[in-house]
Amino acid sequence: MNNFTSILEGRNLKIQIGNTVILDVPEIRIQAGEFLSVIGHNGAGKTTLLKMLCCLMKKPKEGEILFKDRTIGSECSLMEYRRKVTMVFQEPLLFDTTVYNNVASGLKFHGIEHSDINAIVMENLERFGISHLKGRSAWTLSSGEARKTSLARALALKPEILFLDEPFASLDPLAKDILYSDLERVLPKSGLTVVFATHDYGDVLRLSHRVAVMENGKIIQIEDPDTVLKHPANSFVSSFYRLNRT
């Protein structure tokens, strides 16, 4: 993975409520085509960082976000940026309609021609092996099926950056293994830049180019997984890995 262009950058990102600092990230740069995993315990600031980078939160108390070297909100409009990124939440947030209509909904909102929608929807349902569920109500799906539907909906939009917030959380071991295999098969071929939040180090080892370890709203270390494992920046990073191994 060489010669990537920086596609997204956060500078001096800070969120503070009263005297409590929720997020404090002086700098984070994400390479085009990279799979970056953000790991840490629950409450470490992972989801907050993803929402901030995806511009789904209020403007940070300090700092700025740049997309392809253009500051979002001035040189790059928020609407333009949001058409280039999508976020899949821990809870799938599916509509009370069919699986097909859930995947098609974003395409309609983005103004995709009606004649093109069917092919795009079916292509993405097939990617995740759920085309046979197209007529099912999304609210009757298993947790694993719902996550796949949410991912199919996200990829159908052809974003440049995909944010994944704990996609394996609460899944049983079999459903997790199946979804992991799907992501391992689909994402490298997509050319997407992926930012992935998880509390489980085991989730990131095969997929990630780099790992950002967070504690108390701060990034403690950001390097390739092998370096983080062999040369942890401090005792917290080392203990976090050991806890995930037990």
Q: Which of 2-16, 78-92, 142-156 has the lowest mean pLDDT?
A: 2-16
What's the pLDDT at 2? 43
Q: For 30-75, how does the pLDDT look when each residue is reduced to its tens digit (9 = 90+)?
A: 999 999 999 999 899 999 999 999 998 865 567 899 999 999 988 8
Residue 67's pLDDT is what?
96
Distance CA 28, CA 10 (A): 5
pLDDT of residue 18: 86
The confidence band for 1, taking pLDDT boundaries of 50, 70 and 90, is very low
What average pLDDT is seen over the chain?
91
Q: Is 2 exposed, middle or buried (0-12, 13-18, 19+ CB in 10 A)?
A: exposed
Q: Is the pLDDT of residue 238 over 50?
A: yes
Query: Can you give the pLDDT at residue 3?
Result: 46
pLDDT tier, 111 (very low <50, low <70, confident <90, very high otherwise): confident
d(CA 88, CA 79): 18
Residue 169 clears pLDDT 60, i.e. is over it = yes
Q: Confidence band (pLDDT; 50, 70, 90) for 243?
A: low
pLDDT exceeds cutoff 80 at 231:
yes
Query: Whole-angstrom Cα distance, residue 78 to residue 180?
Result: 32
How far is the CA of 127 from the CAs of 108, 134, 149, 152, 170, in angstroms?
Answer: 20, 13, 10, 8, 22
Average pLDDT, stretch 100-118?
Answer: 93
| Residue 21: pLDDT over 80 | yes
List, for residues 69-106, the tens digit of each pLDDT value.
Answer: 999 988 889 999 999 999 999 898 999 999 999 999 99
pLDDT at 205: 76
pLDDT at 242: 65
Q: Tell me the torsion sign for CA atoms 49, 55, 61, 62.
A: positive
Task: List the chain domain ranges.
Answer: 6-84+159-245, 94-158
CATH topology of domain 6-84+159-245: Rossmann fold (3.40.50)
Which helix (H) or strand (E) segment holds residue 71: the answer is strand 70-71
